[in-house]
Amino acid sequence: MSERIAIVVGAGGELGRATAEALAGTGYTVVGVDRNEQGLKELSDGIRRAVGDATDPAAAQSLVDDIAAQAGPPEVLVNTIGTFRLGEAVAATPADLKVLMDVNLGTALWLSQAVEPYMRQRGKGSIVHVSARPATDPTAGMAAYSLSKAALSHLIRILDLELRPHGIRVNAVAPQLIDTAANRATFPAELLAHAVRPEAIANVIAFLAGDLAAPVSGAIVPAYGA
């Protein structure tokens, strides 16, 4: 087995699965994490699986610790976990904001905290999260979502400043719309015409995670499509 361990959180979903496959194809030993055990079964046989809910701060830490004990300390963490709700700012509820902040921002923070000691000890590591275009381009009709992704993008830059001196790079990819089954059921055809396939986003993530992107940290890389 490779000594280069990559953890992909959200590997039961379409983007996470594509990312796990892309990283495995570049030589990493990949551990796919998701609370959806059925989704994990769709991963290739060579990819390890760990069932758990990384949106829970305590579970995020224990998942990473278990993986480090069984497979080895992680060199790469990719977090594809995210959730989405439509709604204007004037109609946003406390529940909307809490859920989106907890999932889109909180998960990224808890996972980054969990892998940081292992990467710092190695003097090397790469963390990649998934932001979104509305984080930087104000978009009507998705207020709470945009705010949660904007907070995530700011977290990326803070983590970069704090972790880069220890050899840990932190970046994000920012799609506009990903061509997934869930999005095809939600958005009209004219928007989906510009959606990007999960495999294409996964290739950008794999680049950011790998050695070819060694000079890149603190970047929010657009992946908006045509």
Residues with active-site annotation: 145
CATH (domain of 169): 3.40.50.720
pLDDT given for residue 2 in this prediction: 55
Q: How many angstroms separate the Cα of 214 from the Cα of each of 207, 211, 217, 218, 222?
A: 10, 5, 8, 12, 18
User: Average pLDDT in the 57-82 region?
Assistant: 96
Burial 57-72 (b: 16+ CB within 10 A, else e): bebbbebbeebbeebb
Of residues 84 and 132, the one with the higher pLDDT is: 132
pLDDT tens per residue, range 116-143: 999 999 999 999 999 999 999 988 999 9
Report whether 116 contacts 68 (CB < 8 A).
no
Give dist(CA 69, CA 186) in Å, integer. 40
Give dist(CA 206, CA 81) in Å, integer. 16
- Number of domains, the chain: 1
Mean pLDDT score across all residues of the chain: 94
Domain region containing 185: 5-223
**Which amino acid makes up residue 30?**
V
**Sheet harboring 5-9: ordered strands across?**
48-51, 29-34, 5-9, 74-79, 125-130, 168-175, 220-223
- pTM, two decimals, is 0.94
Q: What is the DSSP letter of 93?
A: -
Q: What is the DSSP letter of 142?
A: B
CB neighbourhood size of 90 (10 A): 6
∠44-216-195 over CA atoms, to 5°? 55
